[in-house]
Amino acid sequence: MSNLTKKIYLPIFLGVILLLVLYRIQIQVDETVTDINLIYRRIETPTKLLLNGYLGHFFNFKYLGNLNWLIIPFGIYAVVKLRFFDTPWKKALGLSYLLALILISAKGYFNSRYQLTLMPLTLPMAVLFVSLYIKENNLTKYKFQIVSSLFLLIMINTAVGFLFMQQKNGNKTVSDSKVGLIYRITHPFETLNKIENKKKSTAYPVIDFIRSLPEDEKVLVNNLPMLYYYTNKSGTYYWCGDDTYYTNKGRSLLMENRSIDEMRQFISDTLGCKYLLSTDYYNQHSEKFNAFVHSYCKPVFMDNGEFVMYEIMGTKGNYILDKFIQALNKKKEEGITRISIRNADVE
């Protein structure tokens, strides 16, 4: 094998090996972990926390693709071999990028949307550094093969991601219904372009249901701001994951120093909320809040986006979503695209 051939095929070979290893690490599930939030974000093990979390901008292939990592080897090559950052503006750009990367890695690793902010710079620079490598090593005649390899990596990532979303989660601590919810949360919302009556309906059937409620009914909103985007309803914004709700007095805690019975009374009497807008998956971010929902929140509406409207009841019961989920799945099997289930439909 000639030296020129090594320059083109060795990086491709090493890149494929690296990707195979990373895919294996990212797809495997630690069955001892029960925190559904960590499982959903794929940071439930130290290795996956490093790759999908702290270094997620380069290796979180699910949300940011699998080309960003190229900036690491080819960027090092450009700096060391080509002395690419040889002017003040290039040095300033490189320093700004590194500082932003360090900040996002340290503070924003938990959510890929923060890492996404660097994509407009990372991806073009990765392509630029690969181009410089091609030019410097006289590999221009192999440009088609190299570009095709990059395109192949993208297609492989898309195919693996698609198959992974549909396969059963290997974690035995997560029930089939929860796995279904996780898949449907990550799946594009099917009704966005299939609205039966665009003049009277929104992309979210649950919003149409909320609009049908009396004007003075208030809603406790569990991390679903779409209520404020599409309705004139007043309510209290809350996130059970960190037990924080917001009013005109600022930020407060809901569950702290309150039993689930006291929570129900406080939500109804003090906050004045008769309904809860949430999802089954969001409820599971807090064991105590989930217990409150099952004890005092009767589901009255659910749509195929998994958005649920609960009526906050005055008496304790055992309120679950099983019938709603069964009814939704049955309608999906019948090919119905705009799906919504009211309580009367499953009683």
- pLDDT tens figures, 101-158: 999 999 888 888 899 999 999 999 999 999 998 888 888 887 888 888 888 888 887 7
Is a pLDDT exceeding 90 seen at residue 164? Answer: no
The model's confidence at residue 175, banded by pLDDT at 50, 70 and 90, is: very low
The percent of the chain in helix, strand and coil, each rounded to the nearest 5, is: 60, 10, 30
Q: Is residue 185 part of a domain?
A: no
| Number of residues assigned to the chain | 347
* Max avg pLDDT among 45-49, 99-103, 229-233, 340-344: 99-103
Q: Is residue 87 part of a domain?
A: yes
- Asked which of 50-54, 55-59, 167-171, 286-290 is least confident by mean pLDDT, the reply is 167-171
93 and 196 in a single domain? The answer is no
140 and 9 in a single domain? The answer is yes
The vertex-71 CA angle with 65 and 74, nearest 5°, equals: 135
Q: Is residue 334 part of a domain?
A: yes
Is a pLDDT exceeding 70 seen at residue 38? Answer: yes
Tell which of 122, 138, 173 closes a domain: 173
The predicted pLDDT at position 188 comes to 34
158 and 270 in a single domain? The answer is no
The model's confidence at residue 170, banded by pLDDT at 50, 70 and 90, is: very low
pLDDT tens, position by position, 234-266: 889 999 988 999 988 888 999 999 999 999 999
Q: Is residue 51 part of a domain?
A: yes
The predicted pLDDT at position 207 comes to 87
58 and 160 in a single domain? The answer is yes
240 and 100 in a single domain? The answer is no
CA dist., res. 274 & res. 267, Å (int): 8
**Whether this model's pTM surpasses 0.75:** no
The predicted pLDDT at position 6 comes to 62
Q: Is residue 180 part of a domain?
A: no
| C-alpha distances out from residue 285 to 38, 151, 244, 280, 289, Å | 10, 38, 13, 9, 8
pLDDT tens, position by position, 260-278: 999 999 999 999 999 999 9
DSSP one-letter string for 10-60:
HHHHHHHHHHHHHHHHHH---TT---HHHHHHT-SSHHHIIIIIITHHHH-
Q: Is residue 179 part of a domain?
A: no
> Token pair of 227, please?
């209520």
152 and 194 in a single domain? The answer is no
106 and 32 in a single domain? The answer is yes
272: left (phi over 0), alpha (psi -120 to 50) or beta: left
218 and 293 in a single domain? The answer is yes
CA dist., res. 224 & res. 113, Å (int): 17
Long-range residue pairs from 96-100, CB within 8 A, at least 24 positions apart, any chain: 97/121, 97/122, 97/125
Q: Is residue 181 part of a domain?
A: no
The predicted pLDDT at position 153 comes to 82
Mean pLDDT of the chain, nearest integer: 79
Neighbours of 24 (CB within 10 A): 9
Q: What are phi and psi of 132, to 5 degrees?
A: -65, -40
Q: Which domain holds residue 219?
A: 190-346
Share of the chain above pLDDT 90, in %: 32
CA dist., res. 110 & res. 53, Å (int): 6
Looking at residues 5-16, what average pLDDT do you find?
68
202 and 56 in a single domain? The answer is no
Q: Is residue 85 part of a domain?
A: yes
| Total number of domains in the chain | 2
The β-bridge relationship of strands 307-312 and 297-303 is: antiparallel
126 and 246 in a single domain? The answer is no
